[in-house]
Structure 1
């Protein structure tokens, strides 16, 4: 298994395409009985992608950021990129999982990244489904799996459409289950405000100090809170938002690179080019060419 080594002590596992579809941004898992990837048991690791797993029935336990979760019948477990996961041995599991990259999420025309399930303000990682909810979720997952096994021109769009329905439905359940949660601390609220401000002003403001001023706190305090809540530096959240918008513009418009750079608040197109390559590993032009081959 390929490993992205961000920290020698905690490996980061990428989303690996399967042999059937070769899709590098989206993958569906289906298990009936045998628990997947036994080599990962008791090994702390992170993932660089989102993962949703619907457990129809099964036994076992896993840990997310040092919080244990016992597998339950008709439960939905969800993970964000970068969280530390430890799996314990399980006997039998019947489940369906959907994995997708932040890039896949950001390329959709709707704001999926702002949904409650994705933001996860309450820092929960499991939803208990009623029998009726389980039927809806299982049916949607089956539609996703069917489309996933039919590669073609419309596959990415259809996967995105079904995923939009699934995430929206689960976000409603998330809000209903945790609306009375009293664990939303001041730090969590500040982190949510910081993310909201980024979405409002990322085209104009690129520095942590700018957002600290908007929130009437010091840059040092903001950085400390954001790192504690997300595990990522505050500046990384700003950069990720800029990259997300750049990707959208590169895919969904024919704007010249210079125009995209200026629209994102970069006064120099060459700096934007260096910034994008540093954050993604490819140039804006190279990204536009490669991603359009996938989507068109």
Structure 2
């Protein structure tokens, strides 16, 4: 019996998804076309029937049956199917779901927040109900109804509220090699911040403390694990990746140096210049042709 990594997404255009902020689709193990949208932009809700192993941050869970899964783009996760699978999924941005600034952030939702439990076992009746909501969303996204987005948001919120009434799964297990696992998660989360695609959307995670908070571990534990496994500090990994991205942006975009610095998390150009010079021995302007 061979495990397989599940990325069961239907064929759709990545830029179109970023523009609309929402996509719902059916999943099954016969889907071969996989889109390459940027995972860090999208939250995910998935109903899946299979025998599977799900890795979520530094935890794992074995499932056999129908589950409802909530994926936070800022928490690394992966999914291995042990048996054939089927179900539905939707991906969406926080901007799509939030209609005003007073709406609760998804980061604070019990279903998506750091340290929460994102997996719910479904009874046959619950499966039928959730399946029906996904089928309604699939049908609705093809219409020209003027208030379609509002209706889709209502379906998502109905799934969220129904899920919060359920008892979450509690059969998580800790991975045996905790240092290796947390280091792998840190490196994956670091890489998810890049490439920088917009100069007005600054880097979210900039310090070891930021990464530790996103991974729901103490920063000292993160630092010890990363140093033990890689021989380099957490700060060194972050700095090297930021400098690498800075060089790419300086050489391959026409953004101003101030805009590049801001996109990398530096509020003032002088901060970026000093940081870059300290780590490279030269100033950003020297890389401009």
Structure 2 length-normalised TM: 0.48
TM-score for the superposition, normalised by structure 1: 0.47
Q: Which has the higher contact order (CA 8 A, sep 6+)?
A: 2
Q: Greater helix share, 1 or 2?
A: 1
Higher Rg of the two aligned structures = 2
